[in-house]
Amino acid sequence: MTNQVLIFDTTLRDGEQSPGATMTHAEKLEIAALLDEMGVDIIEAGFPIASEGDFAAVTEIAKNAKNSVICGLSRANFKDIDRCWEAVKHAKAPRIHTFIGTSPLHRAIPNLTQDEMAERIHDCVTHARNLCDNVQWSSMDATRTEEDFLCRTVEIAIKAGATTINIPDTVGYTAPRESADLIKMLIDRVPGADDVIFATHCHNDLGMATANSLAAVEGGARQIECTINGLGERAGNTALEEVVMALKVRNDIMPWSTKIDTTKIMNISRRVASVSGFAVQFNKAIVGKNAFAHESGIHQDGMLKNAETFEIMRPTDVGLSETNLVMGKHSGRAALRSKLEELGYDLGDNELMDVFVRFKELADRKKEVFEDDLIALMHSNATEDDTLQLKSLKVACGTEGPQTADMVMLVEGSEQSVSTTGDGPVDATFSAVKEIYPHRARLQLYQVHAVTEGTDAQATVSVRMEEDGRIATGQSSDTDTVVASAKAYINALNRLIVRRTKSEPGYDTKGVSYKDAG
């Protein structure tokens, strides 16, 4: 037992399994670098056998990692484990993570008896350990597994060479007291338990993931598996920022520590929200927009007299600036660089120049450019390499009749224009995009929220689109909501184009469907 709790981040694996949260190769490398920099102990970089893209991303992350252990996930078979090792072996500190479902419901899927499953666990952990000194084994759906059988499988994994034993609450079923008791029971009953690290991996289906993870630590777990913003399948995973700040703020009753640089939390939270397309709810603990906002008169009065009256953390603890310096069209590059560094962005000269040009364009349209405007500007997704780019858009609206959208768009550098109508300006705009670039992607989500207050506020638009089982999200900000909508829609299409197999029958090299194009 130690006072150190390891933080195992699975944003790039479990988090990315959220429908629509798939990230590009470059985005995965960027998030991994941020996790490494903020002090995450173990980064689960992906599921190498899932796809060539996943394998390439895990391999590259392993090569680039400076401090973190780089982990890959594999199912309980030799092929998966070998593929995982091929990807993570490049890391300074590699880890193989192999798992199998041990509950009665999950044993029925491969139709294995308890004895057959026990044998497979032994063989797979042994094989993994022969490749790598750092092996993690997970009992999927452990919280619904019979205690005696769970003890048996954990003992087998330890004897076969596992160095970390993960006890996942795969479906978010357990409660805090159960979570603590389960870890304690395993440590007390299983031979060799003192020689390994026990981990907890909780899902938030009943809203108890953070509580269950902290309870597991109280029971003896010394590794918490979590994601940035609680991203993950269904209701998500334990949120990294919540467990880390809970241990920091309430160290008086939870005397355990992590190596996380908490001042980097806000920056990575914003970046994950941007690349995943999953906006952070305003009242989200730690990283929500309202987490350090006060509107009630009583609260404001208390804050003015003593900030600790209504804040148990300082904004600077998680990387927020306590002041909100307003930028404008007269601000220069030096001021912009200083403000962006304050917000957690370290830009090279070329990057700064690009952002400065866009900042000036925004400042010409707004009286004041606030911190949230700059954050939205930094997370603009469009690049010159995109297949589709919006050049101009003019929308005509009226109280009667359909609305009209006149659009000029670049398709692989070729300028195309169209005029379409629709049931509202956004519908007309999306119709224009589809006429210029025929596709069969379906719009699953369309969401708008204001970045700042006032009639000149920027609107951030998020869209989610699905095509043949592939899901992509797009996000963009602009003072014109319709323009932001067009850019977000086009951004999502660009992501689908990247993921679409170009050799797939029915598509030409530009990704245009012959069938839908007529």
DSSP 83-146: HHHHHHTTSSSEEEEEEEE-SHHHHTTTT--HHHHHHHHHHHHHHHHHH-S-EEEEEETGGGS-
For 33-46, write each residue's pLDDT tens digit.
Answer: 999 999 999 999 99
CA distance 487 to 481: 10
User: What mean pLDDT do residues 202-219 have?
Assistant: 98
Q: Give the residue, 310 or 378, on which the prediction is more confident.
A: 378
Say whether pLDDT at 174 is over 60: yes
Predicted confidence at residue 40, as pLDDT, reads 98
CA distance 39 to 231: 19
**Contact between residue 191 and residue 152 where contact means Cβ atoms under 8 Å apart:** no
Q: Give the residue, 513 or 38, on which the prediction is more confident.
A: 38
Question: Confidence band (pLDDT; 50, 70, 90) for 311?
Answer: confident
DSSP 229: G
Alpha helices, DSSP H only, in 166-295?
Answer: 176-189, 209-219, 240-249, 265-276
Of 66, 7, 60, nearest in space to 36 by CA: 66
Predicted confidence at residue 508, as pLDDT, reads 40
Say whether pLDDT at 183 is over 80: yes
DSSP 461: E
Q: Give the residue, 485 or 20, on which the prediction is more confident.
A: 485
Predicted confidence at residue 291, as pLDDT, reads 77
Name beta bridge partners: 421: 404
Predicted confidence at residue 327, as pLDDT, reads 74
Please work out, in degrees rounded to the nearest 5, the angle formed at the alpha carbon of residue 470 by the alpha carbons of 465 and 475.
35
Question: Confidence band (pLDDT; 50, 70, 90) for 307?
Answer: low
Predicted confidence at residue 244, as pLDDT, reads 98
Predicted confidence at residue 318, as pLDDT, reads 87
Output the CA–CA distances (angstroms, integers) from residue 492 to 247, 427, 496, 514, in the order listed. Answer: 38, 16, 6, 20
Most confident of 145-149, 230-234, 265-269: 145-149
Predicted confidence at residue 362, as pLDDT, reads 81
Interaxial angle between packed helices 333-342 and 371-378, expressed in degrees from 0 to 180 and rounded to the nearest 10: 90
User: What mean pLDDT do residues 481-488 have?
Assistant: 92
Say whether pLDDT at 506 is over 60: no
Of 418, 470, 477, nearest in space to 447 by CA: 477
Output the CA–CA distances (angstroms, integers) from residue 388 to 111, 165, 434, 441, 485, in the order listed. Answer: 48, 47, 11, 15, 14
Both tokens of 253, joined, read 């009753």
Q: Is the dihedral of CA 86, 258, 231, 32 positive or negative?
A: negative
The residue count of the chain comes to 518
Matching residue, tokens 């429908």 = 19
CA distance 249 to 284: 17
Of 432, 417, 440, nearest in space to 485 by CA: 432
Question: Confidence band (pLDDT; 50, 70, 90) for 302?
Answer: low
φ, ψ for residue 513 (rounded to 5)? -75, 120
**Contact between residue 203 and residue 176 where contact means Cβ atoms under 8 Å apart:** no
Local structure of 8: helix, strand or coil: strand
Question: Confidence band (pLDDT; 50, 70, 90) for 341?
Answer: confident
Question: Confidence band (pLDDT; 50, 70, 90) for 438?
Answer: very high
166, containing H or E segment:
strand 164-169
CA distance 479 to 221: 48
Say whether pLDDT at 68 is over 80: yes
Matching residue, tokens 């920091």 = 248
Say whether pLDDT at 500 is over 80: no
Output the CA–CA distances (angstroms, integers) from residue 347 to 28, 338, 343, 445, in the order listed. Answer: 19, 10, 11, 32
Predicted confidence at residue 511, as pLDDT, reads 39
User: What mean pLDDT do residues 425-440 have?
Assistant: 94
CA distance 254 to 218: 8
Most confident of 191-205, 293-307, 354-368: 191-205
| Identity of residue 469 | G
Q: What is the per-residue burial (b if ≥16 Cβ within 10 Å, else e) of 264-293?
A: bbbbbbbbbbbbbbbbbeeebebbeeebbe
Predicted confidence at residue 337, as pLDDT, reads 85
φ, ψ for residue 135 (rounded to 5)? -125, 130
The DSSP secondary structure of 22-52, one letter per residue, reads ---HHHHHHHHHHHHHHT-SEEEEE-TTS-H
Question: Confidence band (pLDDT; 50, 70, 90) for 59?
Answer: very high
**Contact between residue 87 and residue 58 where contact means Cβ atoms under 8 Å apart:** yes
C-alpha 118: how far from chain center? 34
Both tokens of 119, joined, read 């044998």
Most confident of 22-31, 218-227, 260-269, 354-363: 218-227
Residue 440 burial (CB count, 10 A):
12
Name beta bridge partners: 467: 470
Q: Give the residue, 146 or 279, on which the prediction is more confident.
A: 146
pTM over 0.95: no
Local structure of 153: helix, strand or coil: helix
For 394-404, write each residue's pLDDT tens digit.
Answer: 999 877 778 99
Q: What percent of the chain has pLDDT over 70?
A: 89
**Contact between residue 266 and residue 288 where contact means Cβ atoms under 8 Å apart:** no
Please give the mean pLDDT across all residues of the chain: 87
CA distance 12 to 22: 9
User: What mean pLDDT do residues 22-35 have?
Assistant: 91
| Identity of residue 334 | A
Of the candidate ranges 128-137, 201-210, 328-337, 367-376, the one whose mean pLDDT is the lowest: 367-376
